[in-house]
Amino acid sequence: MNLAILTSGGDAPGMNAAIRAFVRRGLADNHTTWGIPRGFEGLVRGEPEALTAASVANILMTGGTILKTSRFLDFHQPDVRAAALHALGQWGIDGLIVIGGNGSLSGAFELNRAGAPIIGIPASIDNDIALTEYSLGFDTAVNNIVASIDKIRDTASAHERIFVVQVMGNQSGTLAIAAGLACGAEAIMIPERASDYDEIADRLRATYARGKRHSFIVVAEGAGSAQTVAQEIAQRTGQEAKWVVLGHTQRGGPPTAHDRIMAALFANHAVDLLASGTHGVMVRAHAGSIDSIPLAAVIDAEREPPLDWQDLAEILAR
């Protein structure tokens, strides 16, 4: 079979590990493996590249994606998707794997509905894709945030300051919650749950009263800006509050062992599914194993953040 792979939307650590696993597993089963550069845009405006075992050497430990990626809004248009479907037919592609987040999986669903044999692999540092317990990149992003906060903590402690740290998560607070729990944040602000500045200030004053002279607030970008939060908290507590936006450092760097392992398992299962004639599904982590679920179910569902983790983080920081 001629099997192809592309990465779409926001890059996530582990994408390269998945590409590597796809190629080497595919070649082991005598498939021909192709890469489509720059996501869905490459389907319409590019050409596939043959991928060999050598072409994916030494990418297991790298972030980003060797196939590049893009956010191709034109793919919402039916005529553009028709052009992509035509290209797949011209190239003789028997199966396509799409690695990406919610928008990319929606595009994969629409293209599959039009007739393209597609498997999705969830990849999002926000871990906000429904009906899977894990999305590639999440563990690396959490560890990147925790490592940054651990470094900031030295200054926070030395100067006895409050620090407000803004992390990614425009529509989902899962990343902020996990990072906040892991780093011992006094407060976590997310878009799915309203925050009360007065209540947070009261909590910080209580920690100060028992002798703790520095505190952290982790803010998902969709819940507000770190600068605004710092100003509001400083006014209410009378303490100095600094703010920092971690930005794209959260996405970068080598993927963790967990992301590398999940990438291998996801890609391995995706190749098995395509070889068996199955398509129109997303591989997922579920109940301790790797299986698949229809793309139609994924795009119609929403993933809720672990609010119990947020509550626990705030209890443990008191």
* Catalytically active residues, by annotation: 126
Give the H or E element holding residue 52: none
CB atoms within 10 A of CB 44: 18
Comparing CA positions, the residue from 317, 284, 299 lying closest to residue 132 is: 284
Residues 236, 181, 144, CA angle at the centre, nearest 5°? 105
Tokens read off for 19: 């590409």
- How far apart are the C-alpha atoms of 306 and 294, rounded to whole Å? 24
Do β-strands 162-167 and 215-220 pair in parallel, antiparallel, or remain unpaired?
parallel
Residues 206, 210, 215, CA angle at the centre, nearest 5°? 65
- How far apart are the C-alpha atoms of 127 and 177, rounded to whole Å? 11
Residues 147, 150, 153, CA angle at the centre, nearest 5°? 150
DSSP conformation letters of 138-190: HHHHHHHHHHHHHHHHHHHHHHT-EEEEEES-SS--HHHHHHHHHHT-SEEEB
Q: Which residue has the tokens 């209540």?
A: 199
CB atoms within 10 A of CB 211: 6
Q: Please, which residues have CB within 8 angstroms of residue 154's CB and are 6 or more apart in sequence?
A: none
Which amino acid, residue 56? V
